[in-house]
Structure 1
Amino acid sequence: MSVVADVGIVVGALVAAAALGSPLVAWLLRRVEPEAETPGLLRGGMWIGVLERLAIAGAVMAGHPEAVAVVIAVKGLGRYPELRDAEPGLRGETAERFIIGTLASFVWAAACGAAGAAAVAALS
């Protein structure tokens, strides 16, 4: 297939991973934690999640899934102080929210990356 089609598939997979992952993760977190979100709990998560999904989907499509470990490590190290210093009564809730959100985001991005890689391979 043409380079234009390949680029279109890659861009489409990245957009799906980044843009559609946010509502998916938010929906899942509402299912797990139906009451209103705690203000200030893991601030910046949406932007971190978008960048995380872009990096994961891109790494999978580029054939370097080992780069996903780096993304997860950077995210964990960056969030560690906030998780460690959470209010004692919210520590478990904060950690659970972090793990559920990260895993849901990871699975979605990896699936988008794998679908994009499969589509490019099928059309080549």
Structure 2
Amino acid sequence: MTVVALLALGVAALAPLVLATQRVPRWVSQWAAPLVGLAALAAAAVAGSATTPVKGFALGATLVLGAAAAITGGAPMVLAAFRIARRQPDSGDDPRPEAGPLRGGRVIGLLERAAVAAAILAGWPEGIAVVLAVKSLARYPELREPHASEQFIIGTFTSVLWAIAVCGVGRALIT
């Protein structure tokens, strides 16, 4: 079952990268990566619950695949959360996606998920608070823009929750 869990983590890590390069209808490109990532994470969690703690190569593979899935899989999840939020009645009448007031979010999100993954996989969950504090302080001046606080909260929470979920599965395989 360890192999199944590791393969599922690998799928969760690679799905966003592979699906982003495919020429498919727009709705497929928007929803395929988040759905495949969630399904792969669920499979990894189920398979990981029926295994003993990993050692040796499997330990290293768990750490690498867990961090990779946390980092790469978060962006499609955040974009899906933004699409869902725009569909809510209070989001306005304009169905077109907007870039939003916060810039550099993709790179910041990658770094944020990498830091959260490192903190969780290292067994230091307090590091999540440090990451969120640093990000909040750095973004504070920009949060006065219209819709900036909503974009910040939705993006940050989705990103961090994805990284926690993926690395939680990784930690379950380790311990």
Is the structural similarity TM-score above 0.5? yes
Greater Rg over alpha carbons, structure: 2
Q: Counterparts of 2:167 and 2:62 in 1: how far apart (Å)?
A: 10
Contact between 1:21 and 1:109, CA under 8 Å: does it hold in 2? yes
SS of the aligned residue for 2:120 comes to: helix
Q: Counterparts of 1:7 and 1:114 in 2: how far apart (Å)?
A: 16
SS of the aligned residue for 2:98 comes to: coil
Q: CA deviation at 1:82?
A: 1.0
Change (3 A) 1:107 1:39: closer
Contact between 1:13 and 1:116, CA under 8 Å: does it hold in 2? yes
Contact between 1:17 and 1:109, CA under 8 Å: does it hold in 2? yes
Match of 1:96 in 2: 150
One of 59, 80, 90 as aligned partner of 1:27: 80
Q: Does 1:69 align with 2:123?
A: no
Match of 1:119 in 2: 173
> For residues 20-69 of structure 1, what are the alpha-carbon distances to aligned partners after superposition, in whole Å with 9 as ceiling and x for unaligned?
11011111111102533434621110111111111112111111000110
Q: Highest relative contact order (Cα 8 Å, sep 6+), 1 or 2?
A: 1
* Equivalent residues, number: 115
In structure 1, the gaps of 5 or more residues are none
Q: Does 1:9 align with 2:62?
A: yes
Q: RMSD value over aligned CA atoms?
A: 1.4
TM-score by length of 2: 0.62
TM-score by length of 1: 0.85
> For residues 91-124 of structure 1, what are the alpha-carbon distances to aligned partners after superposition, in whole Å with 9 as ceiling and x for unaligned?
xx21111101111111111111111111122xxx
Q: Counterparts of 2:131 and 2:55 in 1: how far apart (Å)?
A: 31
Contact between 2:100 and 2:151, CA under 8 Å: does it hold in 1? no
